[in-house]
Copies of this chain bind each other. A is one copy, B any other.
């Protein structure tokens, strides 16, 4: 139930730092040992991630996901195809240099393909058009600032929230959390659900609130805690 990170370059380093901060188990595959010097507390394999035996030694068959951040689109495509072949269920993310590569990586079996220049260009546009929204979302998605978070919370069938409306569950009133979306078990998303919306088992609640209120909501949604 671990993740495999292929390539320990600039993006790989940032990703691994976030994984550590979130207690995610992962192993890095990197070709050049010198790129790993001075790294403490990092599980890694020196080798070429386009080779099946290296992917196997990283435990691809039992891994939850693989993130391919090799320098070229060709190498990342190769890893996507190899990973999908070795583990049909694995969640695959790959880096793309442009929109063309993004489409090909998804065709080859990547669940997500991310183009840093595309995301960077959009972010710059947003920081000019909506600077305060960008700041708000940086606070909400970053883990340093605990007063405001945006989280997804799975509703278990054991939760006492099941069958209650948002109003009766008192998520706003008592928990001081806001439900901005509910993804239903069939994949449909209800945006800004009204107070009379009924919570169902298998829902994924998109909530905004303090770390503390969202942790409480999460415990209520898992069935670990009674509702308040």
A residues in contact (CB < 8 Å) with B: 3, 9-15, 18-19, 22, 24, 65, 67, 69, 91, 93, 95, 97-98, 112, 114-133, 135-137, 139, 141, 147-148, 150-152, 176-178, 180-181, 183, 189, 191-192, 194, 204, 206, 208-210
Contact = CB atoms under 8 A, between A and B. Distances in A.
Given A67-B128, A177-B192, A121 B12 contact: yes
A125 B128 CA distance: 25
B183 A208 contact: no
Given A11-B121, A122-B14, A180-B136, A127 B112 contact: yes
A40 B189 CA distance: 38
Number of copies: 2
B123 A114 contact: yes
7 contacts: A18-B121, A116-B116, A116-B117, A119-B120, A131-B152, A137-B141, A180-B180
A136 B208 contact: no
Nearest to A26: B128
